[in-house]
Structure 1
Amino acid sequence: MGTKVYTTPEDAVADIADGASIAVGGFGLCGIPDALIWALADSDVGNLEIFSNNCGIDAHGLGILLDTHRVRRVTASYVGENKEFARQYLAGELEVELTPQGTLAERLRAGGVGIPAFFTPAGVGSPVADGGLPWKFNSDGSVAIGSPPKEVRVFGGTRYVLEHGITSDFALVHALQGDSAGNLVFDKTAMNFNPLAAMAGRVTVAQVEQLVPTGTLDPAQVHLPGVFVQRIVETGPQRTRIEKRTVTTAKEATR
Structure 2
Amino acid sequence: MSGFDKVVRSYEEAMKGLSDGMTVIAGGFGLCGIPEGLIAEIKRMGTKKLTFVSNNCGVDDFGLGILLEDKQIKKMVSSYVGENALFEQQLLSGELEVELTPQGTLAEKMRAAGAGIPAFYTATGYGTPVGEGKEVKEFNGRPYILEEAITGDFAIVRAWKADRYGNCI
TM-score interval (norm. to shorter): over 0.9
Question: Which of 130, 134, 158 matches 1:128?
Answer: 130
Q: What is aligned with 1:96?
A: 98
- Contact preservation (8 Å) 2:22, 2:50: yes
- Contact preservation (8 Å) 1:33, 1:173: yes
C-alpha distance after superposition, 1:122-170 (max 9, x if no partner):
01111211x2xxxxxxxxxxxxxxxxx0001110011111001110111
- Contact preservation (8 Å) 1:48, 1:73: yes
Q: What is aligned with 1:52?
A: 54
| Residue type of the alignment partner of 2:137 | R
Aligned residue runs from structure 1 range 62-81, under 5 A: 62-81=64-83
Give the secondary structure class of the aligned counterpart of 2:157.
strand
Distance, in Å, in 2 between the alignment partners of 1:78 and 1:29 is 12
- Contact preservation (8 Å) 2:4, 2:165: no
Distance, in Å, in 1 between the alignment partners of 2:6 and 2:105 is 31
- Contact preservation (8 Å) 2:21, 2:49: yes
- Contact preservation (8 Å) 1:78, 1:98: yes
Distance, in Å, in 2 between the alignment partners of 1:77 and 1:91 is 20
- Contact preservation (8 Å) 1:28, 1:57: no
Q: What is aligned with 2:157?
A: 173
Deviation larger for 2-11 or 54-63: 2-11
Give the secondary structure class of the aligned counterpart of 2:67.
helix
| Identity, % of aligned positions | 51
Give the secondary structure class of the aligned counterpart of 1:167.
coil
Q: What is aligned with 1:139?
A: none
C-alpha distance after superposition, 1:167-213 (max 9, x if no partner):
0111101123322332222xxxxxxxxxxxxxxxxxxxxxxxxxxxx
C-alpha distance after superposition, 1:85-117 (max 9, x if no partner):
111101111000011111111111111111101
The answer to whether 1:164 aligns with 2:148 is yes
Q: What is aligned with 2:28?
A: 26
- Contact preservation (8 Å) 2:4, 2:164: no
Distance, in Å, in 2 between the alignment partners of 1:73 and 1:19 is 10
Q: What is aligned with 1:223?
A: none
Give the secondary structure class of the aligned counterpart of 2:74.
strand
Distance, in Å, in 2 between the alignment partners of 1:128 and 1:36 is 30
The answer to whether 1:151 aligns with 2:135 is yes
Query: Shift in Å at residue 2 of structure 1?
Result: 5.2
Larger Rg: 1
Q: What is aligned with 1:9?
A: 11
Q: What is aligned with 1:115?
A: 117
- Contact preservation (8 Å) 2:110, 2:150: yes
Distance, in Å, in 1 between the alignment partners of 2:28 and 2:69 is 19
Count of equivalent residues: 167
Query: Shift in Å at residue 21 of structure 1?
Result: 0.8
Distance, in Å, in 2 between the alignment partners of 1:113 and 1:173 is 19
C-alpha distance after superposition, 1:38-60 (max 9, x if no partner):
01110121111111110111111
